[in-house]
Structure 1
């Protein structure tokens, strides 16, 4: 059952700027589109999201009706509390073996990595809004998903342009690599993945002050540990 505000409107005492922005992204609309849908000005939506003004009771009712229609109920729940020193990584790949392997490699090398996975574009979009990853590991050639276009969208959107993108592809042609770099990817890894290289890239792209030395400098010329060799074989399979 939804909580009611003191003024009788439903469930929106916590309708602050961050919540409005998160739900708007999940609904897949711009500030201009949201403003048009609920009958307010773009400037009003912008002020809400920037924390300069809070919605009136009437506006809260309009927002609630819009988000109830366009955002699944489970996705409307507030973000979980993340440890301050965590690094949030979203892995987008349609292969469950790859998703499981990369999750295991990250979480086994540092408890500070929080990992979520997605197997298609819709789930990736929802989790980008709810999980708010620091890094997205993105397979560029998934069924029904143009990874290069997704990468470009992440880098051009004001809400996600600071997200680091590690592009993964099995097509290392010069033209493909040029397209990936043009789309704004921060790193490109070729399949079959090398787990030591993968960890180094994640480490390098982690937010300042959250580097956990998952791969020691001494390993640059040494053989990877047995666990990494096993995981590498899984990804190659």
Structure 2
């Protein structure tokens, strides 16, 4: 059964700049705008089977609006107060700034920082974070390799990985998403979008098998 939406639903969707009242299929960008995630996250969810899609004759993914609206309509559980976040970042000043932001966003969160690969490897297994904020370009650490290790190890595969980089190129974004990261942010960070993304991903982790 398709999702039933009212005129109020459609009005609210138009407010955020997306009129889907006459569209049955959405592009990755349109689906991402509705769910407050990056288009690369939508593509990743499609690749791993989290979101159903169809392929156009040209090979482009399209998402049924009913699937997206149904996902939006699911009751959202509160982000657990004791969420644990691991920051893997070799720039101490940036890491200190990020931890202040995260502490304001999640006052009851447990947050740790790994400045080197040894601490990162240890904390991934002892701290057992729900979310990893991972810098891609670090001295002595390769963020791509760390992401691959996280997602290919059964004990850590379900950790949400949010990548960060000062070199936000299509190649870097596509590469890290293919390795399993949920999304990738450019530096300096858009904290408004980051706040929405963390909450959305934690909620989606609970609601999507």
TM-score by length of 2: 0.57
Match of 2:123 in 1: 127
SS of equivalent residue, structure 2 residue 129? coil
Within 2, Cα distance between the matches of 1:107 and 1:155? Answer: 26
Count of residues paired in the alignment: 127
Question: 1:154: how far off?
Answer: 0.6
Higher relative contact order, chain-length normalized (CA < 8 Å, sep 6+): 2
Match of 1:118 in 2: 114
Q: Is 1:180 matched up with 2:180?
A: no
Q: Is 1:141 matched up with 2:137?
A: yes
| Structure 1: gaps of 5 or more residues | 1-83, 211-237
Within 1, Cα distance between the matches of 2:188 and 2:107? Answer: 25
Match of 1:107 in 2: 103
Larger strand proportion, structure 1 or 2? 2
Match of 2:194 in 1: 198
Change (3 A) 1:117 1:207: farther
Within 2, Cα distance between the matches of 1:152 and 1:177? Answer: 14
Question: Runs of 4+ in structure 1 displaced over 4 angstroms?
Answer: 207-210
Question: 1:120: how far off?
Answer: 1.1
Could you say what the CA RMSD is over the residues aligned between the two structures, in angstroms?
A: 1.8
Match of 2:90 in 1: 94
Within 2, Cα distance between the matches of 1:146 and 1:93? Answer: 11
Question: 1:158: how far off?
Answer: 0.5
Question: 1:207: how far off?
Answer: 5.3
Question: 1:116: how far off?
Answer: 0.6
Question: 1:147: how far off?
Answer: 0.6
Contact preservation (8 Å) 1:92, 1:118: yes
Contact preservation (8 Å) 1:164, 1:186: yes
Match of 2:159 in 1: 163
| Structure 2: gaps of 5 or more residues | 1-79
Question: 1:85: how far off?
Answer: 3.9
SS of equivalent residue, structure 1 residue 136? strand
SS of equivalent residue, structure 2 residue 133? strand
Change (3 A) 1:177 1:110: closer
TM-score by length of 1: 0.50
